[in-house]
Amino acid sequence: MEIKKEISFPLDVEKSLAIAQNILNRLEDKEANFMYLLKLIFFADRYHFRKYLRPSTSDKYFAMKRGAVASYLYDIFKNGTNDERIKKIGDYTVQLTGEPQYQEKLSQSDIEAIDFSFNNFGKYSDMVLSDICHAYPEWKKFEKELNSRDGRKSILMDMRDFLEDADPEDNIFRKNKMSDPFEPIPKEEKEILETQLVEIHSQIA
């Protein structure tokens, strides 16, 4: 049986920071709990990948107990960053200092993805965003292992799974009085996208 290699993309550090700065700049006080920020970045990446077959950040995603996490950005938010525009304040908060940098690296489609994430998810708290994240199949496939006593704390995710649709009747959506804002992808279209994705990945891997 063929074992599929996880699909991921080469990290663009400046672009990843540009997206984080862009979101922080939209907030009134220019600061956020970094779990809140990471979840908005995840939803932007998920949107962009489903529509354009590449994530905006190109960060590697890991499934963790509180949802999908962009690995590079998680590390710099948690441990402090050398980026002169994003400063860690307190244990779990980051703040934008000064005007955002690297914004020229963001395409119109990247801004579209950030807009989608911010407009649909920005009103929720960090814990609610974590809960919503658990409704999506790319995280659900690891749920049992992540919640087991002997399970791993983080598991590398396959970007292919971002093309899977959430169950619109999932209790998480009901509990949070919301509908899944992601448009479903028809089966035939998904098969075409998966074929294209393998071709794209073979050229950049």
Ranges assigned E (strand) in 72-153 = 86-89, 93-96
- Closest by alpha carbon to 165, among 66, 46, 71? 46
Q: What is the pLDDT of residue 1?
A: 37
What does the domain layout of the chain look like in residue ranges?
Answer: 13-204
Q: What is the pLDDT of residue 3?
A: 44
Write the single-letter amino acid at 10: P
Q: What is the pLDDT of residue 121?
A: 98
Q: Coil, helix or strand for 177?
A: coil
Ranges assigned E (strand) in the chain = 31-33, 61-64, 67-70, 86-89, 93-96, 154-156
Q: Mean pLDDT for each consecutive 10-residue tract of the chain (205 residues)?
A: 64 92 95 96 97 92 95 88 80 91 95 98 97 97 89 89 97 97 96 88 70
Residue 159 sits at the vertex; the CA angle it makes with 27 and 111, to the nearest 5 degrees, is 30
Report the distance separating Cα 11 and Cα 88, nearest Å.
22
Q: What is the pLDDT of residue 191?
A: 92
For residue 177, is it left (φ>0), alpha (ψ between -120 and 50) or beta?
left
Q: What is the pLDDT of residue 82?
A: 64
Is the four-CA dihedral 164, 19, 73, 102 of positive or negative sign?
positive
Residue 76 sits at the vertex; the CA angle it makes with 33 and 13, to the nearest 5 degrees, is 115
Residue linked to tokens 């690297």: 102
Residue linked to tokens 């590449």: 54
Model confidence pTM above 0.85: yes
Q: Which residues pair with 67 in a beta bridge?
A: 64
Which residues are CB-contacts of 152 (< 8 A; sequence separation ≥ 6)?
Answer: 145, 146
- Closest by alpha carbon to 39, among 15, 69, 9? 69
Q: What is the pLDDT of residue 9?
A: 82
Write the single-letter amino acid at 129: L
- Closest by alpha carbon to 23, among 138, 117, 98, 108? 117
- Cβ atoms of residues 161 and 138 within 8 Å: yes
Q: What is the pLDDT of residue 5?
A: 67
Report the distance separating Cα 39 and Cα 35, nearest Å.
6
